[in-house]
Amino acid sequence: MTGDIGWLGALASFSLVLIAVGISLWKRLEVERSLLWSSFRAAAQLVAVGAIFGLIFDSANAMTWAWVWVIGMTLVSAEVIGRRARQVPGLRFYSLAALGAAVGVTLGILFGLGVFDLEPVTFVVLAGITLGNTLPGAVQAADTISREFIDEPQRIEALLSLGFDRAGATRMSSASAVRQALVPQIERTKVIGLIALPGTMTGMLLAGAEPLPAVLVQLVITYLVLGSVGVAVSVIVSVIAARAFTNDLRLADWVTRAR
């Protein structure tokens, strides 16, 4: 693997996206704009990141900038979750706490156990892997549970009228939201080695590492990512479920206003 792809190779890889766009136009699926916009946005963001990486990691304060980068990624991720359920008060703060804890534990284990040497590039990349895998599930969880309260408040109120407490009235909704949000990550974990060959292991093998050490490193990362997603999703669903009620067990204003 030389890594010398060039712009022509990058454009060639875009051909499959164009085929998908063509199918969308042909079948009137109405996803062509999303496909094109996400592709162009990804290109712009990656080029910008590549340029900034070059500046940061060649500087004398590379590790300090790496910390700034990771903190920035965590803040942006919490903001994305908060926007998904912007009506829930305090969600950004709790999302930031959950994501920060997940990233902190992940990096602490990976570098504390010596799985990777502490270098600026590795520090940023591993934090990005954690956040990149955690964010989709967290966003889906926030969207699912908040819509559950907004769309079906009568069911929650009925359970409260039957004598259920806050936890009892929201148990089914919370469990369903957590399961839906975790399904993609759980399924990806199940097929590792059978269908999917994850990036860290593949990269190490291509770089000449022995198979068993590469597998063990990938296993550690897989467990940490799965745990990070599970923690973040559970915290976010629990926070939104708790914030859906007032202290006297009435539905909160953000639920009733959205009816």
Report the C-alpha gap between 35 and 40 in whole angstroms.
9
Q: At what angle do helices 91-112 and 62-84 cross, to 10 degrees?
A: 140
Signed CA dihedral, 24, 29, 32, 38: sign only: negative
Report the C-alpha gap between 240 and 235 in whole angstroms.
9
Which of 10-47 are b and which e, b meaning 16 or more Cβ less than 10 Å from the residue's Cβ?
Answer: eeeeeeeeeebbeebeeeeeeebeebbeeeeeeeeeee
Helix, strand, or coil here: 244? coil
Is 151 exposed, middle or buried, given 0-12, 13-18 or 19+ CB atoms closer than 10 A?
exposed
For the chain, the straight-line distance linking the first and the last C-alpha, in angstroms and rounded, comes to: 56
pLDDT tens series, the chain, 259 aa: 455 667 777 788 899 999 999 999 999 999 999 999 999 999 999 888 888 888 777 888 899 999 999 999 999 999 999 998 888 888 999 999 999 999 999 999 999 999 899 999 899 999 999 999 999 999 999 999 998 888 888 888 888 788 888 788 888 889 999 999 999 999 999 998 888 778 888 888 888 889 888 889 999 999 999 999 999 999 999 999 988 888 887 888 887 775 5
Is 184 exposed, middle or buried, given 0-12, 13-18 or 19+ CB atoms closer than 10 A?
middle
- Token pair of 128, please? 């990005």
Predicted confidence at residue 154, as pLDDT, reads 84
Beta carbons of 134 and 102 less than 8 angstroms apart: yes
Is 248 exposed, middle or buried, given 0-12, 13-18 or 19+ CB atoms closer than 10 A?
exposed
Residue 192: strand pairing partners: 196
Beta carbons of 105 and 98 less than 8 angstroms apart: no
* Cα 54 to the center of its chain, rounded Å: 25
Question: pTM, whole model, 2 decimals?
Answer: 0.83
Helix, strand, or coil here: 196? strand
Predicted confidence at residue 258, as pLDDT, reads 58
Residue 245: strand pairing partners: 251
